[in-house]
């Protein structure tokens, strides 16, 4: 990469990660979900067919004709952030970025041959410079990870599912792949959040941005610790009925809930893995070809085992009990679903709604808009980064 490709980068000194591989920041669940997606019956056939049919040229022309392309002459501060993010993550070719008129805070990275980054005016107006830098880094992380291809496929298939809904069984086949893509999409967001932190290198700004995505431009009314406490309450709240409701609430979404994203990112920022990257010790792209698939599987399996073991969610705790050989499974299931105290027969409490009123999302739940980082992602396609 030549120096001329990254002129006028912001002056604040940040660590750079030459040759960094996306493996350095990818969430284990991201990798395992993508592997599972590729194993889905019919996915390869659909992917190969759509790769040749998707109107990518039309998509690029649409943004070129009806949005503002970021450059030194237009949204110059965003252009500086974009080039700075590419410089930090050593992404050799700076992807084009467009600003689209839309009051809904949102951002996305799409494209089959080459990634395109799109941010909405609602997002630009909501976030300050450091918060926006994390979002731009998030999108560049998607580009470096190669996520844009699958995100474009999901965008197309989600719209297709609506058009073929009247065909018997047609929608079932499409929605099976859409559901699997959404599961991966949600996990990929956790990876991109980490990339955003590596670019912004300011966990406070990342937290602020996520809080604004959830509650608007009212930081004086919000508190980071209280916001993270919501994630903890959401995870451990209720009984098995609430666990099932959480699953049903998240299925239509392309993004994890915002409090969950904040908690995951904060947790990662405090790990030794993050500190090693900041110290310059990380996997490099030129080593990717030598990476063992078995090791990746093992790492993902270990992550899920740790998640089950440490989770406070009632369903995950039950799974851990079962895996650990706990007896009286019938009694445990009865107690978990009824809220009865083990050994007492007394009720712990009546049924509760989904913790944190998570059905406020904009993805087919009742109305919480998705992260801009992205804005709401609804059933109309992946909206956010």
Residue-wise pLDDT for 154-168, tens only, equals: 777 776 655 555 445
Residue-wise pLDDT for 72-107, tens only, equals: 999 999 999 999 999 999 999 999 999 999 999 999
- pLDDT at residue 202, rounded to an integer: 96
Q: Are strands 97-100 and 116-120 parallel, antiparallel or unpaired?
A: parallel
Look up the pTM and report it.
Answer: 0.69
- pLDDT at residue 372, rounded to an integer: 43
- Confidence grade of residue 347 (pLDDT, cut at 50, 70, 90): very low
- pLDDT at residue 185, rounded to an integer: 80
The radius of gyration of the chain from alpha carbons, rounded to an integer in Å, stands at: 21
Alpha helices in the chain (DSSP H): 28-38, 43-53, 56-66, 76-88, 121-126, 129-145, 148-163, 170-200, 203-215, 224-236, 240-250, 258-269, 272-278, 293-310, 314-323, 329-338
The H or E element that residue 275 is part of is helix 272-278
For residues 109 and 117, is the Cβ–Cβ distance under 8 A? Answer: yes
- pLDDT at residue 302, rounded to an integer: 59
Q: Where are the domains of the chain?
A: 3-285+350-360
- pLDDT at residue 270, rounded to an integer: 96
Q: Are strands 97-100 and 68-69 parallel, antiparallel or unpaired?
A: antiparallel
Place of tokens 């989600």: 158
Whether the CA torsion 224, 226, 232, 233 is positive or negative: it is negative
Most confident residue range from 1-5, 13-17, 380-384: 13-17
Angle at 361 between CA 207 and CA 353, to 5 degrees: 105
């Amino acid at each position: 990469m030549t120096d001329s490709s990254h002129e006028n980068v912001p002056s604040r000194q940040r660590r750079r990660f030459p040759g960094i591989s996306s493996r350095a920041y990818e969430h284990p669940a991201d990798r395992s979900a993508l592997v599972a997606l590729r194993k889905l019956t019919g996915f390869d056939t659909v992917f190969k067919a759509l790769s040749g049919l998707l109107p990518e040229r039309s998509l690029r022309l649409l943004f070129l004709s009806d949005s503002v392309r970021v450059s030194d002459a237009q949204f110059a501060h965003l252009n500086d952030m974009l080039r700075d993010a590419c410089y930090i993550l050593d992404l050799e070719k700076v992807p084009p970025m467009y600003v689209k008129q839309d009051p809904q805070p949102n951002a996305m990275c799409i494209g089959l041959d080459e990634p395109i980054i799109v941010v909405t005016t609602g997002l630009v107006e909501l976030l300050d410079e450091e918060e926006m830098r994390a979002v731009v880094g998030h999108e560049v992380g998607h580009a470096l990870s190669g996520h844009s291809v699958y995100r474009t496929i999901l965008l197309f298939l989600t719209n297709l599912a609506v058009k073929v809904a009247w065909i018997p069984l047609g929608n079932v086949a499409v929605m099976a792949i859409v559901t699997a893509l959404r599961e991966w999409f949600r996990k990929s967001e956790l990876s991109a959040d980490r990339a955003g932190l590596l670019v912004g290198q300011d966990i406070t700004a990342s937290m602020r941005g996520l809080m604004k995505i959830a509650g608007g431009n009212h930081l004086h009314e919000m508190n980071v610790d209280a916001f993270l406490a919501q994630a903890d309450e959401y995870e451990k709240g209720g009984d098995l009925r609430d666990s099932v409701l959480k699953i049903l609430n998240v299925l239509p979404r392309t993004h994890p809930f915002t409090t969950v994203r904040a908690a995951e990112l904060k947790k990662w920022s405090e790990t030794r893995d993050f500190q090693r990257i900041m110290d310059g010790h990380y996997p490099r792209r030129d080593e990717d070809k030598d990476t063992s698939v078995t090791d990746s599987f093992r790492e993902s399996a270990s992550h899920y085992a740790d998640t089950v073991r440490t989770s406070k969610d009632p369903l995950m705790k039950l799974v851990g009990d079962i895996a650990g050989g706990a007896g009286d499974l019938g009694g445990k299931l009865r107690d978990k679903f009824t809220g009865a105290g083990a050994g007492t027969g007394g009720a712990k409490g009546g049924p509760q709604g989904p913790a944190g009123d998570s059905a406020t999302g904009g993805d087919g739940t009742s109305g919480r808009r998705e992260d801009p980082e992205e804005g709401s992602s609804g059933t109309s396609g992946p909206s956010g980064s």
